[in-house]
Amino acid sequence: MFTPSSVALALLGIVIMAMGYARAAEGPNLGRDATPAEIANWDISISPDGAGLPPGSGTAIAGAVIYEAKCQSCHGERGVGQPNDRLVGGHGTLNAPLPIRTVGSFWPYATTIFDYVRRAMPYQQPQSLTNDEVYAVTAYLLHLNGIIAESEVMNAQTLPQVKMPNRENFILAYPPRSG
């Protein structure tokens, strides 16, 4: 049984909810849209085939100096680890009870090393390395893992050509669509 006051109260509730829904659909009016230049500064993803790699270059020789100054305190001398992750070694251990997953034994693409170092390292100052420094540190890590020679130059053309030892052991979660 409905009384006039309960009907009025129900209608008032419906009106208030509708107003709240309409206001929520507008959004909270916080912030502003990012400008194309701001988006470009954060659009730094590198794909496995090297799409998105910036200009620049580096060798393991140059990378050793940068690594010692900016990476060694966390990843140890020559990438052996401690206090943070080990970056070198682990070849042939992925099927062992305690696999050692390093950039050399586990990662499928050399471009992923560049992408990760560029966006996230050094930990205290991410995105502070120049493109040349990132190419050099990437080359140093590849060299320490026995994948490239110390004097090989890594750049947007050569880095995607590096064949990582574990590349064939990854299964694409989203394989390319045919036709």
Per-residue exposure over 90-103, b if at least 16 CB sit within 10 Å of its own CB, e if not:
bbeeeeeeeebebb
Can you tell me whether residue 118 is helix, strand or coil?
helix
- Could you tell me which CATH number the domain at 46-169 has? 1.10.760.10
Q: Are 86 and 72 in contact (CB under 8 A)?
A: no
pLDDT at 71 over 90: yes
Closest by Cα among 117, 142, 130 to 55: 130
Top pLDDT among 175 and 121 is at 121
Query: Residue 61: which pLDDT band, with cuts at 50, 70 and 90?
Result: very high
At 25, the pLDDT band (50, 70, 90 cuts) reads low
pLDDT grade for 23, boundaries at 50, 70 and 90: low
| Spatial contact of 159 and 109, defined as CB atoms under 8 Å apart | no
Of 47, 48, 54, 175, nearest to 108 by C-alpha is: 48
Structure tokens at 162: 């590096």
pLDDT at residue 156, rounded to an integer: 98
Average pLDDT score, the chain:
90
Q: How confident is the model at residue 1 (pLDDT cuts 50, 70, 90)?
A: low
Measure the CA dihedral 175/176/177/179, to 10°: -140
pTM comes to: 0.77
Please return the burial class of 16, using the count of CB atoms within 10 Å of its CB with bins 0-12, 13-18 and 19+.
exposed
Residue-range domain boundaries for the chain: 46-169
Average pLDDT over residues 64-87: 95
Would you say residue 160 has pLDDT above 90?
yes
Helical spans, DSSP H, in 27-92: 36-42, 60-70, 72-75
